Structure formats: C-alpha cells, structure tokens
A and B are shown apart, each in its own frame.
Chain A
Amino acid sequence: MAASPPRRGAARPAASRLAPLLWLGPSLVLIAAVVLWPAVEMVRTSFLRISSSGLTLGGAGAGNYRELFTSEALVPVLLRTLLWVGGVVGVTMLLALGLGQLLNARFPGRRVVRWAVIVPWAASVLMTALIFRWMLDNDSGLVNRVLLDLGVLDAPVNWLAEPGWALFWMMTVAVFVSLPFASFVILAGLQAIPRDVYEAARVDGAGWFTTYVRITLPMLRPALIIASIINVINVFNSFPIIWAMTRGGPGNATDTTTTYMYKIAFVEQDVGQSAAMAVVNFGLVLVMVLLYLRVTREAR
C-alpha cells in the first residue's frame, strides 16, 4: 500500500514497464516489511552497545562480534549445532523415505495410517517436548519404569541431566516432529512419478533395488531437496524442544546456536552480542543451504 504514490507519479513511458509492480507490489511490500526489515534491524543491532535494561548506549563497532568469538562456549556450541542439524535431518530423511514408500503402498487402513502420521505435526511442538521430558523423568518417568521392569536398567537414569543422553533424546524428539512433513513431501513426490516408467523398467527386467536406485530416487530429487532444505532451516532454528527439555543445560552442554543466542540476551543480559550471534546464525543457514544446493546441482 505504502509504495503506491511513487508509482503513480512516474512518467508515462515508464508506466507500462512498471505495470507488473501493481501485481508484485503488495507481496514485495509484505516481504520487505516482515522479512527484510527485521533482518536489517538485526544486523544494525549487532553493532550497537545495548545496556542490560535494553537502552541503546551507542555504537559498539565490532565489539559484540569480538566478544562472541572469544567466548569459550562458542566452538562447542557450533559443533553441537552441526551434529544436531546433520543428525536430525539425516535420520529424518532416511526414515521419511521408508515412511513415504509405505504411505504410497495400497493396503487396508491406509487412510488411518496417513492421518496418524500427521499427528506429531499437528500437535504443538512445545507440548510434545514437555511430554517427552516427563516420560524421561528419572523419578516418575515412563521410560525408566519400562526399562527397569524389563531389566534393561538396574537403577533409573536421569536422561536429561547427562549431556550425551539428553542430546540423543532431544534429537529423537526433533526427528519425531520433523517426520510427518518430510514423509508427506516424499509421498507427493512418489505420486508424481508416472507409472509407465516403472512398467518400462519391469519390461526391461529390472529388480526392485535397481528400480528404486535408478528410477525412484532420481525422480524424487526435487521432493528430497525441498524437504531437506526446509527441514535444515526448521531444525537449525528449533528452540522449543531444547528449551522445554534441558534449557541447553547443564551449563551450556546441550545448547545449539539458537538457544545460546537466547541465553546471551536474557541470561547474560547482552542484547547486542545476542544480535551478533543471530547474524552468525543467519549466515550459517545461508551457507548451509547454498552449499547444499551447489552439491545437489553438481550431482545432477
């Protein structure tokens, strides 16, 4: 809306060339307002010195970045973030390939199964994480009860207090909530593969393995790329699972860059440095997505 006056005022010959803006305009304005502007603000904030009360005290130059890069928690947090994203997305995609195939097969009750797979997606991530936290409780949790009764454990384990186990369980939850979306994108991809290609393969005498590797996977490529990129971004930015289950603790032992960023702002009370972390985060997602696109394009 705001962009319309300058358009009107433009000279006549240009008017026809600017005509598409009439259609593009609203969405461009929307993108600028909700995507570009906050991003610009974020970068600007990362160069400001902000008091613990929230008041801007002046410019900080590269000070926020210098402090961020010298903090000893940063490198472990970055490595853990890579493990978190790589692990969750990798496992999710593998499982989703199988699940997509299953949902694509014809069997009685398929509709029910398809609906059931949507459930973890439809449920609030925060609720799912909290339910898992209670199930993993060392004192009254279901997981310990079952494992104790089965004789797998001798004494209850405090799963979320041991960084290694905590990370494992949180990744399990992340896979659990990412699975529906990935499976359905793959299901859509499978349904788009024409039947005659498979018939031709059968006529040529290809086995199921060859058919899968030479036909299904290559033809799923667009679906896989979309599913994994969106997944990478989602998992990278995933805050509620970690926050609800361990708050990144003990210490910073289960923090990813996203929860660490929050802690810098609201535990260490340094909004400027937190914005610097956000910029680094933003850069990382960008680099990861670009790298991924590059790799998948080269493999074509």
Chain B
Amino acid sequence: MKRPLRTALAVGLAAVLTASGCGKGSSSAGDDDGKTIRFVAAIYDDNTKPFWERLIKDFEAKNSGYKVKLEMVDWETMDSKVKTYVQTKQVPDVLNYNAFSDFARDGLIYKASEVVSPQVLTDFTPTFVEQAKYKGEQYGLPFISSARLLFYNEDLFAKAGINGAPKTWDDVKNAAQKIKAKGDIGYGLPLGPEEAQAEFYSWAMNNGGGWVDGSGKWAIDQPANLATLNFLRDLTKSGLTQPNPEATDRKKVFNQFAQGRIGMAIGGPFTRAGFIDPVNKNLKFKVAPLPSKSGAEHNTLGVMDVLAAFKKDGDKNREAVKRFLDFFYQAEKTSEFLKLEGFLPVTKSAGDALSSDPYMKQFVDALPTSKFAPTTNPSWSAVAGAVKTDLGSAVASQEPKTVLEKIQQTAEKAG
C-alpha cells in the first residue's frame, strides 16, 4: 500500500515543481528595462512582414537602446493566440487586432492619450475615433480601414441588356433575373461562416436595419432586419444567387466573379488586388454604391482594425510603446503601409495619398457614409460569432424569423 502512495506523492510533487518552474520562466522573459517591447502584428498578406521588419530596423536605428520584438500571426490563429496571451499573462506590449473593447473593459490596455502624442491623436479621422472608444474614452488606435461597394461585371450587364448599376433592391432583383436568363449567376451571396455578419449588415443598413436600436440595445430581430433576410432568402430561393449561400465564402464568390460568371457581388478595396487580378486581370468590372431598399440613400459598411497597447508592470513599458507608436503614425509610414496592403486611411494626413488611384478613390469617398459594426461593445465578438454560425441557415433550411430571434437571445445573454 505504501509504495503507490509514495509514487503518487512523487508525481504530485513533480507536477507542482514543473508547473511553478514554467510559470517563473516565462514571466521574467526579456523586457526587464522596459526598453524592449513585443509587437504582435497580423499578417494581411506577403508584404506585411517585410514592412514591419524594415520599420522596426529604422525605429531601432533612430531610438538607440530601444528594441522591438516582432511576432507575426495569421488571422486564422489570431483569436486563439490572443486569448492565450491574456490568460497566461503573456500579453504583447502592442497588438494589431480587430477588437479592443473587452480589453478596455477588463482594464488591460492604455488609453490612446497615454501612448501617442497629441499630434497623432488629433490626426485620426473622427469617424474612426468614435469606433475606438469604450465608455466615452478612446482606447483603440485606428490602424487601417476598409469599406464595401457593389462590384458588377460590365460584360454580363451588357449581355443581359442592363443599363448602369442597380440602385434599389428591385433593380438588383431585376438585373439578377436578366443575368440568370442568359445562363449566368445574378448575385454572389457569401453567407457562410467566414463573414456572414459583413454581408448581411451591408444589406440591412440600407433598409434602415442594424444590430442595435437608437439607445444602443441589441435589436437584431427588428422588422427591418427580417425584411432584409427575407429579401436575401427570396433571391436565393428564386435561384438568382449561386447555390448554397450558407456554405459559401467570399473567396469562392470572387473567384467566380473574376471568371466572369457572377454578375454582382459586394467587395472591398482589397478585392481587386486580392481576388480579381490573380484570376483574371482583364475582367471588365465597375464599382457602385451599395443598393438600398428605397434607392434614396446609400450607406457603406466600414471596417476598422486597431492597435492596442497593453499595460505591463504599472507603466514601465509606456515610454517605449509611445516612441514606437508615434514612429509608426508618421504620415509617410502609415500611407506606405496602406498602399502596400490596399486599405483605406484612418488618419487625415495619409488620406490624400491614396486618392490618386481612381479605383481606391471611390472607396475613400464612400468612407463618410460608412456605418460600423458595434465593435465598441465588448459583447460584439460573441454576437458576431453567433451571426457567422447561424445567419446563413436563414436562406436555407431555417425560417429567418427564428434565426434572428435566436441570435437576439444570444446577444442579450452576452450583455
């Protein structure tokens, strides 16, 4: 009897020793002097890493003694990495991400005013500052932005005898019917789990719908949203979209769009370089405002990624973080990044640099009418998750009303 007991004790002891050993080792890694910071950057494409490497080299040369350790993470694994960093108390000093409000709620990050100079702070475009606030204080640092417009294939439109871009939902349906009559796909609808929330909101906002009501409460099952979903379901059930929107991602839609087999689809500034050019550089397409139910006003979907600066040991890392961020937010650095990656500016100074490209200019011009997902609400990521998982089924096997009510329940539970 004694031997198993002793063995168990030994095992237990060993486990405790290893555990505590691990904990010690990692928390004391690196930045003792507060002059070395860790920057976790998202991989947007192949150009991202060389850009940051160059920028950091430049930064270290001009700020002697300061060091930046770069860590590149792709979007597929970003969410799980970020959660692990926070849970194991190994947060980076600066993080490039698409959410910030739950970090702000949990007191993990600096206010924007603490980590960038007043000049940088006033350079941010007000629309984006609004999206970077939590309880009235700006925490997120707007990093890149993007907008959505309607892409349409000129050749297919000509073949089907359609003049000009559709302005109303009825126009969209008519155009789709004409394109279908010629044997092509009218509208490419990606309602799969990849980005269902963006596609849906692009339609709902142009029908007066949205995620929250005037007082900021969740209003996902509101009548305007139901009407939107019914419209998309009708398009699907009438065979005017590609088959199975609930299982389609953007890549598949734009692959077929580039092959000239889809008449219309909603895309962003990155769509040309990222999806169309690699497949078919000679595609004749145009870009137009998102169609609305009434045709009177056209809103666009705005998307913004941010930088967030994490607190560590009081504010020991603040000076280094501030130097690095101020360095990045110089006009020529930010605009270089935006041009490289095909995103839209978040600062006034970088704004003009992009408007020289007529394709890009259309998106830059659309930014003032952009509406955003409620990223300032810490529960948004959980709600967006439910939308991604469940919304697509509303154009397939489920009733739109049931689906919206279910998501509304999830949202109310999340707070």
Contact = CB atoms under 8 A, between A and B. Distances in A.
Contacts of B102: 51-53
B49 to A, nearest CB: 23
Interface in B234-263: 242-244, 246-247, 252, 256
Interface residues of A, number: 44
Nearest to A7: B10
Contacts of A7: 10
Nearest to B100: A53
Interface in B363-397: 378-379, 381-382, 385-386, 388-390, 392-393, 396-397
A29 B79 contact: no
Contacts of B244: 138, 158, 161
A76 interface: no
Contacts of B86: 53-55
B18 A249 contact: no
Query: By DSSP majority rule, is chain B's interface helix, strand, loop, or mixed?
Result: helix
A251 B389 contact: yes
Nearest to A32: B15
Contact of A158 (B15, B82, B247): B247
B62 interface: no
A130 to B, nearest CB: 13
Contacts of B21: 2
Given A33-B18, A158-B247, A268-B382, A250 B83 contact: no
Contact of A263 (B13, B246, B389): B389
A271 B82 CA distance: 12
B19 interface: yes
Contact of B193 (A31, A158, A247, A268): A247
Interface string A206-233: 0000000000000000000000000000
B135 interface: no
B64 interface: no
Contacts of B410: 268
Contacts of A268: 382, 385-386, 410
Contact of A54 (B15, B84, B256, B390): B84
A271 B11 CA distance: 28
B352 to A, nearest CB: 36
Interface stretch (A17-25, A110-118, A196-204, A284-292): A17-25
A263 to B, nearest CB: 7
Interface string B192-203: 110000000000
A161 B247 CA distance: 6
A70 to B, nearest CB: 11
Contact of B246 (A25, A37, A250): A250
Residue of A24, A267, A271 with most partner-chain B CB within 10 A? A267
Given A54-B86, A55-B87, A56-B87, A36 B243 contact: no
Query: Taking each of B7, B18, B242, B393, which has the highest tally of chain A beta carbons within 10 Å of its own beta carbon?
Result: B18
A196 B29 CA distance: 65
B79 A270 contact: no
A246 interface: yes
A250 B192 CA distance: 8
A50 B14 contact: no
B17 A2 contact: yes
Contacts of A53: 83, 86, 102-103, 105-106, 108, 378
28 contacts: A2-B17, A2-B21, A25-B14, A31-B11, A32-B11, A32-B15, A32-B18, A33-B15, A33-B18, A37-B18, A40-B15, A51-B105, A52-B102, A52-B379, A53-B108, A54-B85, A54-B86, A55-B86, A161-B396, A247-B193, A249-B193, A251-B390, A266-B83, A266-B385, A267-B386, A268-B386, A269-B382, A271-B87
